[in-house]
A and B are shown apart, each in its own frame.
Chain A
Amino acid sequence: MTEAGSDEATASAVMSFVERLEDSSAKFYREMAERHPENGEAFLRFAKESEKNKTLIIRTYQETITDALEACFSFKGLKLGDYEAETVLLEKNNIFDDIKIALKLEERANAFYLDVEERSAQLLATIPRAFKKAVETRTRRVSELKEILKASAGS
C-alpha cells in the first residue's frame, strides 16, 4: 500500500487501494444487511456491487496495463490516505447513525474514483472508463441510501 501523504501514486498502489476499498465496502454492507434486515436486500446488493466493481477495475487494469504507458506517473498529486473512511458500526448505533457512516463512506469513495478518473484520463488506456463506472454505481447508491434514510424517518 502507498504511504499516506505521498504526492504521486503509482497504478499498482491505486489498484491495491481499490481492492481494499471495495473489500471493506462489501464487508460493511453485509454487516449492514445483518443489522438492518428490513433493508437487507438493498445492502446485500451494494455488497455484491462492490465485489463486481473490484473485479471489473482490477481485470481492466490487468488486461490493459502496459509498461509503455505512464503507469507510474499518472496519478499526480493523489494522496490515497485522504480517501480512507470509517467503516466500523458501533453496537449502540441506530439506522440513522449507520446510514450516516455509509454516506460518508460513499462520499469518500466517490471522491477517490472521480479524482483517479480525472488524473488518468489522458494517460492510461481504458482504465479511466472502469473508474467512471464505479462513480456511477456509487452515485446511485447515495440516492438509495438517502431514500432509506427518508423512509426510516417516516416510519
Chain B
Amino acid sequence: MTVLTEPIRQVLEIKNFVGNEWVGSKGEVVDVVNPATLKVIARAPISTEDEFNAAVDVAKDAFPDWRRTPPLARARCLFRLKELVEERFEELSRVQTMEHGKTIDEARGETRRGIEQIEVAAGVPSLMMGYNLEDIASGIDEYLIRQPLGVFGIIGPFNFPFMVPLWFAPYAVAAGNCIVMKPSSEDPVSQAKLAELVEEAGFPAGVWNVVNGGRSTVSAMLNHPDIEGICFVGSTAVGRDVVYRKCGETGKRVIAQCGAKNFLLVMPDADIDKTVAACMTSFYGNAGQRCLAGGNLVVVGEGLIEREYDAFYKKVMNAYVGTASKIRVGYGLDETVQVGPLRDKSKKERVVKFIEKGVEEGADLTLDGRNVRLVGDWPKDCFLNPSVFENVSPDMSVGKDEIFGPVTCVIRARSFDEAIEMIDRNPYGNAASIFTQSGRWAREFQYRVQCGNVGVNIGIVAPMAFFPFSGMKDSFFGVLHGQGQEAIRFFTESKVVIQRWF
C-alpha cells in the first residue's frame, strides 16, 4: 500500500484574505484536523464581527471600479485563474483529501468541477448580454441591460470545500460584483490556497475576499446592510429557518441549497451490474456526505408477480450487499481506497445514532458499517464502513430524514406509482434517479417526480456548470439557482431602458 505524498507537511496558519492582503484575526483559532490521521494540518480563525464588517467595507470600496471594468477584462482574470488552478491541480486535490477526508479520485473530481465553474463564468460577455427591440413605438427603442449590484456573501459547506463556493463566486465577480466568502471552519485550507491564486490571477484588491469564521460570521453577513445577497449551502434547518428567513426580513437576495433525501428507483429492466456500480458511488461516495447522495434505494416490482418480484429483489440485493461489503475504506490518499472517513467524529456519531434508530424502528441491518475494517493502520474515530438497511418504510426516521453518511435504506415498492408517491411525500426535493432501459418509465419519472435534479441511469445527478443546480421543496429556498445562466441572473439586476431621440 502506497499513500500519495501529503502536500501539507507542517501546520498552516490560515489568515483572512481581504483586499488582496493576508490579514490576521483577533478571534479564537480552531484546529483543522485530517479525519483519517487525526493530525492537525492547519489552524483557522473564527473572525470577529468587526473583522467581517471591515472586509465588506473593502469589497464595497472596490465595487465601483470593478463594476466599470469591461466584462472581457473581468473574464480574463478568470481565464488566468483557471490556468493557475490547472497548474496546481494535484496539490489542490490532495489538500482537499487531507482537510475533508474524500478519496483522491473524488478530490480530483471536485477540483475539476470547480474549474468548470470558472470556465463557464468566463463566458460572461455572452452570458450577461441583455436584449432589445427597435421601434416599440415609432422612433422609440427599448432594451434590457444587466447590471451588478454590489457585494455578495457566500457561505461554504464542509462537504465540498473547494467546489461549492465556486458555484457562485466566479459568476458573482464575472458579473462585476465583489464577494466576501466564508468557507467552512472545518476545512478552509483549499479556499485559502485558491485565494493565493486569485491574487496571482490579477483580480484587483477587494474583489474577492475570504473571511474565516463560524456562526458569528454568518450572523454578521446576514445582518450587514451592504450585503446585497447571500449564497448558502448547508442544512435545511439553517438554510430555511435562519438564512432564508433573515434574507427575507432584510430584503437580501438568497440562494439556499439545503438538505436532501434522495430516492433511487431500480426498475425490473435495469442493468443490475451497472446500477449497482452507480449506486455505490451515489450512496457511499464522499462517505455519503453529499446533498445528491442516494438515501433510499427503491426496488420496484412494476409488472411482476410476487414470485418474480421476490427473485428480482433478491438478485438486486445480492449484488448490492456483495459489492458494498467489499468496499475498501481508508485514507483517501491511498489510491486503493474507495471510500474515506467522515469529516469528523461528531458526524460519525450522528450517523451511528441513525443506525441505532433504524434498528429500533424495526428495519433490518443487513450490513453493519459500525464494524470498521480499514485498509491501512489509521485511527478509527471518523471511519464507518458501508451500511445497508432492508425493510425500511419511508416513514421511519432512516427512510425520511437525511443521514449524511454511508447508509443505504432499501424500500420495496410494488409499483412505479407507489414509488413516485413516496418520493413526493418526502419533504425534500433535491434529486431522484431511475434505473431502467425503458424510455417510457424514464419519461414518466422525469415528468412526475417533484425533485429538482433528475437522473436516468445516473447515480449522482450533479448538473454541469452550464446548467443550474436545481432543487425543490425543503431542499431549496430562493428563486434562482447557482451555476450557469441562472447565477448570472441572480447576481445582476435587469434595467430596462426606453429611449427616444428628438
Residues of B with C-beta under 8 A to A13: 335-336
A-contacting residues, B412-469, CB 8 Å: 458-462
B-contacting residues, A37-73, CB 8 Å: 62-73
**If A10-B103, A123-B278 touch, does A66 touch B113 (CB 8 Å cutoff)?**
yes
How many chain-B residues does the 8 Å CB contact rule pick out? 35
**If A66-B112, A67-B106 touch, does A72 touch B281 (CB 8 Å cutoff)?**
yes
1/0 per residue, CB under 8 A from B, across A5-31: the answer is 011111111001000000000000000
How many chain-A residues does the 8 Å CB contact rule pick out? 28
Give Cα A63 to B119, complex, Å.
12
In the complex, A76 has a CB within 8 A of chain B = yes
In the complex, B285 has a CB within 8 A of chain A = yes
In the complex, B292 has a CB within 8 A of chain A = yes
In the complex, A1 has a CB within 8 A of chain B = yes
Give Cα A121 to B110, complex, Å.
22
Residues of B with C-beta under 8 A to A63: 112
Residues of B with C-beta under 8 A to A69: 109, 281, 460
Select the residue from A68, A70, A123 with max chain B CB neighbours within 10 A.
A68
Q: Between A and B, how many residue pairs show CB distances below 8 Å?
A: 92
Q: Are B278 and A66 in touch, CB under 8 angstroms?
A: no
Q: Are B109 and A71 in touch, CB under 8 angstroms?
A: yes
A120 nearest CB across to chain B (Å): 10
Give Cα A9 to B334, complex, Å.
12
Partner among B89, B459, B461 whose Cβ is within 8 Å of the Cβ of A70: B459
A4 nearest CB across to chain B (Å): 11
In the complex, B339 has a CB within 8 A of chain A = yes
Give Cα A62 to B109, complex, Å.
8
Shortest Cβ-Cβ A-B pairs, 6 listed? A67-B109, A68-B462, A71-B105, A68-B460, A72-B338, A13-B335
Q: A8-B328, A65-B112 given. 4 additional CB < 8 A pairs?
A: A2-B335, A12-B335, A62-B108, A70-B281
Listed in ascending order, the chain B residues whose CB lies under 8 Å from chain A are 1-2, 89, 102-110, 112-113, 274, 277-278, 280-281, 285-286, 292, 323, 326, 328, 335-339, 458-462
Listed in ascending order, the chain A residues whose CB lies under 8 Å from chain B are 1-3, 6-13, 16, 62-74, 76, 122-123
User: What would 12 A/B residue contacts be, using CB atoms closer than 8 Å?
Assistant: A1-B335, A3-B1, A8-B328, A11-B105, A12-B105, A64-B112, A65-B105, A68-B459, A68-B462, A72-B285, A73-B277, A73-B338
